[in-house]
Structure 1
Amino acid sequence: MGKFKQEDHKLTFRVSEDILLELPEEDVMYFSERKITKAKPVVLVFSVEEDGRIEKIGFVEFDLRVLNRNAYITYYVSPVWRGRGLGKLMLKKAFDFAFRELNLHRITAEVYEYNERSLKLLEGLGFHREGILKEAKYHDGRYWDIIILGMLRENWKDR
């Protein structure tokens, strides 16, 4: 859903299979980039060799905003590999890739307030808290805040 197409200097926006709207070009700036582009996420899968076999330990996904040169991240470390510093190593390598190869300007993370390990990890890597979505996550019978964190390319360079 939500795809822009330019035909003969008219800009159209597909809202759904049945609905197509024409928009003046100057109104495009009011739409989220996710509605304009269909950039595929970049997923880095990390593995280690153990006892002669390759074991996947986790992944880092970048949900790209190519026009704005930023991405939202999702990451995961398999439970058997946690507590060994591998999540930190994965993220360091992924951020190097994102800023050097993908040429990103910014990386954004949304972390549920109860995920204290993730908050500590990201802040230890140079992310800063930028905002809170109050009671935006329902889990285990209650509402929790979502904490927005960000890191700019210049802050990563300074590390």
Structure 2
Amino acid sequence: MNKKSTELCGQYVRLRPVDRNDYEWLYRISLSHDAGFRWRYKGMTPGPEEFVHNLWRGVLCQFVPEIIGSGKPVGLVTAFDANHQDGWAHLGVISTPETRGTGLAVEGVGLLIDYLFKMFRFRKIYFSTLDYNLEQFESELGKVATREGLLREHSFFDGRYWDMHVFAISGLNWSGFRNEKSQVVEKNLSSVNKDSFADKVLTFDEFVDELAELCHEDKIEITASTALNANLNWDSMKMLYILDAIALMAGKSEVELDSVPKNVGELYRHYCLAVQEPEK
């Protein structure tokens, strides 16, 4: 077993256990206006002691994904209500408001799923999500998860009822998705300029060419100020796909992210810094 697998480390985030120092900021984001309605409380405000009790209730394992280098937390990923006899568990995630939509929490989820299938004899990992959360990660969802249930008008928020979707990730599908994902990134990168980023830093225009090929975007529409979420409609899954591609372009297995890119110019800056960063 290699060191990277035992450290629960990805290209941008690593997982670490939750400790007492995390309770305050987890309490704050769980009840925040930006994230609270996406998590379990949905407007309720439990006291700090009740919050900590609920945080561990039914939990099999949970971790804080933190950015490699800075150690900045991006949220919480948790596996709960495990059934070892029948081989399944449930998955939950909450991201900090400032990293939502960046793909960083999604990478943390992927690391947790890797861990669950490696450490336990699970056949499936279930997760449930409401309609208004789906848009954050649905671009690649069909490749990894199967919708096994739909609870219509299940939850009330903002003046209406929302459907609850129940998805399952099987070990076989997950393994296939992991392998296919890396192959697709490499194939799409090499289809433009096979060796263009092997020995030099790409210019901004060359970088945009790569983005256009990766995401099937028209180059004319992409400028330095083009917003990744608002203009290109990249959700968390797409963002992680792009970040993985940038790490590959930079020739790095781990990349330190000093700030979260919001537009193409900031994404290009991140790429340039990644190229210059020494390999660990």
- In the superposition, the TM-score normalised over structure 2's length comes to 0.39
Residue 129 of structure 1: which of 139, 143, 147 is its match? 147
State the alpha-carbon separation in 1 of the partners of residues 91 and 171 from structure 2.
Answer: 14
Structure 2: gaps spanning 5 or more residues: 1-56, 178-280
Residue 60 of structure 1: which of 77, 83, 97 is its match? 77
**2:141 is the counterpart of 1:107:** no
CA contact (8 A) 1:39 1:65 kept: no
CA contact (8 A) 1:110 1:148 kept: yes
CA contact (8 A) 1:111 1:118 kept: no
CA contact (8 A) 1:62 1:71 kept: yes
CA contact (8 A) 1:39 1:66 kept: no
CA apart distance, 1:98: 0.9
Map Cα deviations across residues 67-96 of structure 1 (whole Å, 9 max, x no partner).
222111110111112233212211211111
State the alpha-carbon separation in 2 of the partners of residues 60 and 121 from structure 1.
Answer: 20
Task: Tell me: higher relative CO, structure 1 or 2? Use CA pairs within 8 A at least 6 residues apart.
Answer: 2
Sequence identity of aligned pairs in percent? Answer: 23
Map Cα deviations across residues 11-41 of structure 1 (whole Å, 9 max, x no partner).
xxxxxxxxxxxxxxxxxxxxxxxxxxx9543
Residue 89 of structure 1: which of 86, 93, 107 is its match? 107
CA apart distance, 1:102: 2.4
The number of residues matched between the two structures is 120
CA contact (8 A) 1:88 1:121 kept: no
Residue 87 of structure 2: which of 66, 69, 72 is its match? 69
After superposition, the Cα gap between the structure-2 partners of 1:121 and 1:108, relative to the gap in structure 1 and judged at 3 Å, is farther
CA apart distance, 1:125: 5.7
CA apart distance, 1:65: 1.8
State the alpha-carbon separation in 1 of the partners of residues 75 and 139 from structure 2.
Answer: 15
RMSD over aligned CA atoms reads 2.2
SS across alignment from 1:114: helix
